[in-house]
Chains A and B, each alone.
Chain A
């Protein structure tokens, strides 16, 4: 038998050092865990300005003046909660938007109960979303709104924009699945394998815990073992523990998905892939992606295991708009919103893109410093909104700067690519 070529003394010395380090971590950890911890999420102040059933509309308080004429409505998925965009003060997409002068609204889908089991996708899009959009238009007097969707919320936004294009000025989709005919993500394989009708007939709604278990099983080695090993290693760091707990709170804050909505999402989207083929019907109307003629900015993560790039990158090729842009970030599904690196790239890019398309034929000038990695874009001077056009009339769209179809793969730095493009 071959003898290992490493001395036993060295191994023992390392074990001793590791033990000492572990003891030190445990001592610090007890101080951290027993002391006060700041783990509150979504602390940016907002007002609930509209309520319908379980659905609420949050309107965030802008710290300074509103500098973008068009308000932005963010639509989150029905899976997990929109609090992810405002996880902690220094990693908050919400705060970045507000600091740059965006008038920000966000839909809070609430916690569906058994009472909501019959609520369909049509009710969400042509009901709640449409009523909210009408409310924002009415309240702000803006002729159109900017719409931004996240994951399944992005899919809703795509459908909404195709059905009500006259109300949407610019569309931003982030990690949004639109092409479900791919085997790249395990979720796509599993969703096609399940008997949706049986699940819904049994549970009524799709239970949040059930979904969470499914997500954990996508990568048990990392999500059920390695993640917590990492936690034990860093328990001595207060900020690490606080961030970790915030993330845990967000991950397991998982509302149920209304039964009928899930049934249709699994059958028409995952199993039949109707949306990308413009064959989907919502509320008796066909969702034709060619109706999406407004500018479209499409973000997705290169290493997203839930919504792989293949599920996102066909959209810009199928819509009717000529002003489209694909941006690939070298991160996963959640990293786009919460990683420090993406915080410097993701939200500032959206702000810049919106500013360029906000004016009437003039992009709002953005100073060079705004594009510097790590700095928040400074707000432009306050603007007055134009009068809303007559009801039923499609507003004249302002001339857009540089209608182009772009594809970007940002690795390692998004900012460099943006600057080169400019």
Chain B
């Protein structure tokens, strides 16, 4: 599947650059040849696990595994080796591991040897599929099984996209990273792989690789924009043509900042989940989505609201969870509960938060994202996490951790937060305690959500 797409693009555009790193770029043809070359190092059947840093070699091996008809499981390279081994074991053990990890502790059966030259690889064809883990920002990560066919069919094709150079702001083991990868592949676009996801690495990638488009979480953008100098912003203003937000609800604060800093870029926010894939996008620059999406088919999905929860009907979702008994909430007719609570206001549907994240304060439901949106609207706030804290009077109370942008006075930011919360939130929604912290735990550039 993905190898076939690679081969077709390589045949059509022999000189087209596919992957870029700061000091290296490779064409579709070169990646195709590398994949054919390394495929002989892989087994002829079964599953192959990838515990590997993002880079050209990883992509070559991915295509090689697909060429060999192997099932691919992408593991998080940021996790410790014992965690990776636990995941392999929980999926039944065995299989091949492709890794750049050179230490002990991983039952490693294969290491990259991209320089080796081989030939005569049997092309097994078929759709051997992909296993990927959910982010785990609201609970333990779950293994999700996909067919490449469905993933590729979610991609929106556009002629202009072949000139785009997307930054891979999500790791490839993240579903959004895979989406970015197949989007670039199917559209014949370039994909820039930064050395890391810190501000300096991302800036180096922007400058060194002429990135024109970036898809990232609102949390990533808040952190990134907060550290850009005025000169950096001017630099990026002329080169950045497309901005996509996903993974978390896009709130007014970040949409407005992006509009101001990058007036020439198109700004889109997408709704996607690991389980359902890419569902729909919103291009008007405002939070939420229009209510008219509820009355018609939007791309390949249908949407409806049942008991304040957004339900989606799509034929392009995952095959299912692996090693889990849990299933998403499915209604008759194939409607799947997203776990996202929404409310209609005027002609707009707004996200309130995850069903699992909402909590009761004195019997009244609180949605952390609503509180966070108010705090994020305060000048000087870089990022925030709102959570439930045990309390002997009301059972739970609202607490918040806030990371303040460099150069802002903590006392006045705190006063403004309290003032805005009093002005915009109900009493039970107002944080009882607000801690200013140097950093907030994130996973895959999303705020980690655990109640204390």
Partners in one complex: no
Report A's interface with B, CB cutoff 8 A: none
